[in-house]
Amino acid sequence: MNDTVLTPTKILDTAEDVLRRFGPTKTTVVDVARALGVSHGSVYRHFASKAELRNAVAERWLLRVSDPLEEFATAKGPALDRLHRWFHALMTSKRQKVGADPEMFATYSALASESGDVIAEHIAHLQGQIARILQDGIDAREIAPMDAGATAQAIFRATSFYHHPMHATAWSDPGIDRSFEALWRLLVKGLMPR
């Protein structure tokens, strides 16, 4: 490949392919450069270190989770319905990813868990979406007055079992949806005005 057409997106696409073949521990910047047909110096012009490249791969993967959820955060309609659909979309997305390619899911989860700042930003992003829905509900008196940000964190953590990659082995339980709905009913009652 000619260096002049080397873009961050092309590097990330190739890095994903290489990660898929070699795994996260064995993949090096040189492997990625070789797969692109460029020198490793060319890759380093876009990503200053292996850590930076790994973080960028993890970040892009996490954006594929959070971006499609944005529509529920900005939609019209009752806040609790939007929040329910937001959680279902999040859980469906995570389960599809682990179902489609469990190894790659594990690889990305490992990558992401090593990229502390990237993960923190992702979680802040998701909790921000929840907080916006909650605030709409509070403004519409559909939800009791409360601190939307703190409550967003509380219910995001309360649902960890259903969306945190560390709990992925539990998601194949056929009772998982019923279990989430049992929690959802409690949370809805907790959120509604008296």
* Among 1, 51, 63, 188, interactor with a second copy by CB under 8 A: 188
Eight-state DSSP code of residue 123: H
Contact 127, 121 (CB under 8 A): no
Q: Which of 157, 171, 172, 177 binds a second copy (CB under 8 A)?
A: 157
Q: Which is nearer to a second copy, 10 or 154 (CB)?
A: 154
Pairwise CA distance, residues 24 & 112, whole Å: 11
Which span sits near a second copy by CB under 8 A: 2-10, 11-19, 88-96, 154-162? 154-162
For residue 34 the two structure tokens come to 């070789």
Q: Is 153 in the site for a second copy (CB under 8 A)?
A: yes
Buried b (16+ CB within 10 A) or exposed e, 76-114: eeebbebbbbbbeebbebbbebbeeeeeebebbbbbbee
Among 139, 158, 172, 177, binds a second copy (CB under 8 A): 158
Question: At 126, which amino acid appears?
Answer: L
Taking the C-alpha atoms of residue 26 and residue 23, their distance in angstroms, rounded to an integer, is 6
Instruction: Please tell me whether residue 187 binds a second copy under the rule CB under 8 A.
Output: yes
Total of residues contacting a second copy (CB under 8 A): 26
Taking the least distance from each CB to a second copy, the nearer of 120 and 140 is 120
With binding defined as CB under 8 A, does residue 151 bind a second copy?
yes
Q: How far is the CB of 78 from a second copy (least distance, A)?
A: 18
Element (H, E) at 36: helix 29-36
Q: Does 167 bind a second copy (CB under 8 A)?
A: yes
Is 150 one of the binding residues for a second copy (CB under 8 A)? yes
Tokens of residue 126, six digits:
């998701």
Among 41, 166, 172, 177, binds a second copy (CB under 8 A): 166
